[in-house]
Chains A and B, each alone.
Chain A
Amino acid sequence: GAGVSQSPSNKVTEKGKDVELRCDPISGHTALYWYRQSLGQGLEFLIYFQGNSAPDKSGLPSDRFSAERTGGSVSTLTIQRTQQEDSAVYLCASSLARDTSPNQPQHFGDGTRLSIL
């Protein structure tokens, strides 16, 4: 597609359940990022992918959070045993690799609004 696509757009689930959030980046963008946006914390970096590998996972808040990327394209962010503090908007962004194109902006999807009851 023309832009970054995220699904679902909204997700409501009960505390303790697992959730999977999907991101489909812009075709040809090898760099992919996940961010979390919440009222108290603003926009926080979670993880960076280059191709299928994740050289920077420093923003994942706990071991309940994991992410993978396959085929250098679609990425899935999984949250296990969800807690109420996981409620937030999860944003995905993609860009060209910096090595080939420095100072690239990141292109964001519209996010998944996650609500934990």
Chain B
Amino acid sequence: SQQGEEDPQALSIQEGENATMNCSYKTSINNLQWYRQNSGRGLVHLILIRSNEREKHSGRLRVTLDTSKKSSSLLITASRAADTASYFCATALDLNAGGTSYGKLTFGQGTILTVHP
């Protein structure tokens, strides 16, 4: 089952506007990651925020994390038509199996962002 829930499910904006997507989750996490997926392509990692961080920036991206509310938001500023894609949050939980530790990702349902030129 999907841990993350994202809203909105779809977002349509004009170029130059900001886009905000939200993600909520249910269990403890080690980190939270945001990925982008263009139609027919794989997922591209955008940004990772650790559970002890509250805010992180990368270029036009700003991610916040509120572990008390179990929620995160992704803000894309000054959006471009090329930002049109689906955006997924993924929570990572450290697990141990077979003598190794790994970060198991659980994805939200995604937000479809359309940026009109």
Question: Could you tell me if A110 and B42 are in contact, using CB atoms closer than 8 angstroms?
Answer: yes
Classify the secondary structure of B's interface with A: strand
Within the complex, which residue of B30, B42, B48, B102 is in contact with A4, where a contact is CB–CB below 8 Å? B42
Question: Could you tell me if A50 and B102 are in contact, using CB atoms closer than 8 angstroms?
Answer: yes
Q: Which of A33-81 contact B (CB under 8 A)?
A: 33, 35, 41-43, 45, 48, 50, 53, 55-56
Contact partners of A108 in chain B: CB under 8 A: 35, 42-44
Given A55-B98, A103-B31, A103-B103, CB of A42 within 8 Å of CB of B110? yes
For this complex, into which size category does the number of interface residues on chain B fall? 20 to 34
Q: How far is the CA of A109 from the CA of B97 in the complex (A)?
A: 24
Question: Could you tell me if A50 and B30 are in contact, using CB atoms closer than 8 angstroms?
Answer: no
| A15 in contact (CB, < 8 A) | no
Q: How far is the CA of A56 from the CA of B48 in the complex (A)?
A: 23
Contact partners of A85 in chain B: CB under 8 A: none
Q: Which residues of A contact B (CB under 8 A)?
A: 4, 6, 31, 33, 35, 41-43, 45, 48, 50, 53, 55-56, 91, 93, 95, 97-99, 103-111, 113
Q: Which residues of B contact A (CB under 8 A)?
A: 2, 30-31, 33, 35, 40-45, 48, 50, 88, 90, 92, 94-95, 97-110
